[in-house]
Chain A
Amino acid sequence: MEDFQVRLEHCPKCHSVNTENLVRVQTGEPIRVYVRCRDCGTFVARYRLERYTSDKTNESLLRYLRKHGHSISSRIGAREVEGFSAEVEREFAETSDAPHSDKRLDELIWEHRR
């Protein structure tokens, strides 16, 4: 089994890969992302967000550290801060270039469970 696998979401109805993400933010509730097919409007998937990183990666990290500023290891903190933006960019490039798996998402999640 490879270190990681990538799956491209597609519409269960029309099989289009032209999807859009609707980010739902509600007070007192976790942030949820609803994936919708742009071609036929069908519900594709829903994700619950643990941590959000925008294209302004440093800003996102600062917002995260403001809330979870209990990092007690300065060494890990330094690595995380310095490398965060680079890590996001590297992983984005890696994910963009990876071939797409045909497996169902729940299969992939099961395979890569800890």
Chain B
Amino acid sequence: MKTGWRIFFVGLAAGLFAVVSFIPIPGMELAAQRTMGVFILALILWVSEAIPLYVTSFVIAALLAIFVPQHIEGVDYKVFLAPFFSPVILLFLGGFVLARGLERYNLDSVLASAILRRVGKRPWAILAGFMGVTALLSMWMSNTAATALMIAVALPLVNTMDREDPMKIGMLLGIPFAANLGGMATPIGTPPNAIAIASLRDAGISVNFLEWIGLALPAAMILLVVTWVLILLLFKPKTKELTFNVKRKVSKMGWKEWLVLGTLVATVLGWLTGRLHKIPDAIVSLAPVVVFFAFGLLGRKDFRSLGWDVLILMGGGLALGRAVSASGLDTWLVTSLGMEGLPPVALFIGFTLITVVLTNFISNTSSAALIVPLAMGFAAGGNSLVISVALAASASMLLPVSTPPNAIAFGSGQLKVKHMFRTGLIVAVIAVGVIMLFGLLIWPRLGIV
């Protein structure tokens, strides 16, 4: 971004913060007013990316710590710093370390090739294989890394296909879409999920690892299958069979590889059986961190290059959410906008649509960080509304800029924006419908939220 625009957006954010925070608003508590100022500043800076996203998180922490606590009884500034090392941050840290271990020892590639070698030669089966593997990987590692791996595997196949074969496009679209959808399924699949879990936890509602999978996996799977069918309909394969040879990836399974695999299995089992052993998910997440670094499976350089910027971004979002609820801003918004009596259906439509639109233009994490705190204030929507917003934040399929997996697929040079937009729009609309169905009818009946 040119310097002039950066200065403009930073100036705009600072100016609006000052105006909203310090010009008296009748009927609004000072704490809520200051928080609204910070919220608007965060919105402008996260949407414009005038400064790095994680730096905005630090600005949020500083402003909240300086301007809010004195107006809320019993709250001191540490309340807004604590989210930066909350249990979900640790959960994500564990996820990052696991993913780095898988990548370093090539185990992700071995898994991918083991499955893809068995899918056969039919285009529909190959597409299902690619999408299934991508979704599975993106549940446990970053959507971007899963996409980068699978696009690299797919490109040799795509390059041998007939230039006029629509399935070329279908294959390149299926992978990033599957990555986005797979990420919905687990708490560590994508940061918006963790933001929702942390916000619910702050409100006294606990959703553990297994419970999140129970809530989100069915919706993610339905969307994955629907997307697969849609791609086959829109990009009908020209041939009945494709010659697809996947190189057999063999990882020399020495003690390090076995230790990585063993730690992965133990950690996942630890997450899934939290109710039995009562060890919090965040503490289970420390297992791969300790094992991988203590045994030299990963080194200092790996530690430094973990997604610390993502964790800080999440922390900022959580701090903002805490302030929105502690200051009463959420309640003020509901009452002053006359939305108390709104029926749940209207709330779900409104929030999921706004989130889906926003997430296609700014980062999924920023979208969730902005909308989840607002959704928390709407009791009529129930806690399902918050989860719906988190899943909707992953429905970013419209444009290459919507999310890095889309950008990677688009970077292959074989897609046009119209291919992605048309298919992504249909998927996004269906996603809103499926999420609403689950949010309004199914999740409340499960008794988890």
B404 touches A61 (CB 8 A): no
- List the count of A-B residue pairs having beta carbons below 8 Å apart: 97
Taking CB atoms and an 8 Å cut-off, the chain A residues in 36-94 that contact chain B are 58-59, 61-63, 65-78, 80-82, 84
Q: Mark B298-329, 1 if CB is under 8 A from A, else 0.
A: 01010001110110010000000000000000
Q: Is the Cβ of B407 less than 8 Å from the Cβ of A58? A: no
> Could you tell me the distance in whole angstroms from the C-beta of A27 to the nearest C-beta in chain B?
10
Interface SS, B side = helix
> Quick check: is B365 within 8 A (CB to CB) of the other chain?
yes
Is B371 close to A, CB under 8 A?
Answer: no
Q: How far is the CA of A73 from the CA of B144 in the complex (A)?
A: 11
User: For the complex, would chain A's binding face be called helix, strand, loop or mixed by DSSP majority?
Assistant: helix
State in angstroms the CA–CA spacing of A81 and B362 once bound together: 17
Q: For the complex, what is the distance from the CA of A114 to the CA of B362, rounded to whole Å?
A: 30
Q: Are B103 and A72 in contact (CB under 8 A)?
A: no
Q: Which residue of A lies closest to B301 (CB)?
A: A30
CB distance from A52 to the nearest CB of B (A): 15
- Complex-state Cα separation, A78 to B356, whole angstroms: 19
**0/1 interface trace, chain B 403-427, chain A, CB 8 Å (1 if under):** 1101110111100000000000000
Of all chain B residues, the one with the shortest Cβ separation from A59 is B152
A residues with CB within 8 A of B: 28, 30, 58-59, 61-63, 65-78, 80-82, 84
Having A69-B144, A72-B309, one finds 13 other A-B pairs with CB under 8 Å, namely A28-B299, A58-B412, A65-B144, A67-B103, A69-B142, A70-B306, A72-B307, A72-B365, A74-B406, A77-B144, A77-B404, A77-B407, A81-B410
30 contacts between A and B (CB under 8 A): A58-B155, A62-B152, A63-B148, A63-B152, A66-B103, A67-B145, A67-B305, A69-B143, A70-B144, A70-B306, A70-B310, A72-B313, A74-B362, A74-B404, A74-B407, A75-B49, A75-B401, A77-B144, A77-B407, A78-B400, A78-B404, A78-B406, A78-B410, A80-B407, A81-B400, A81-B408, A81-B410, A81-B411, A82-B400, A82-B411
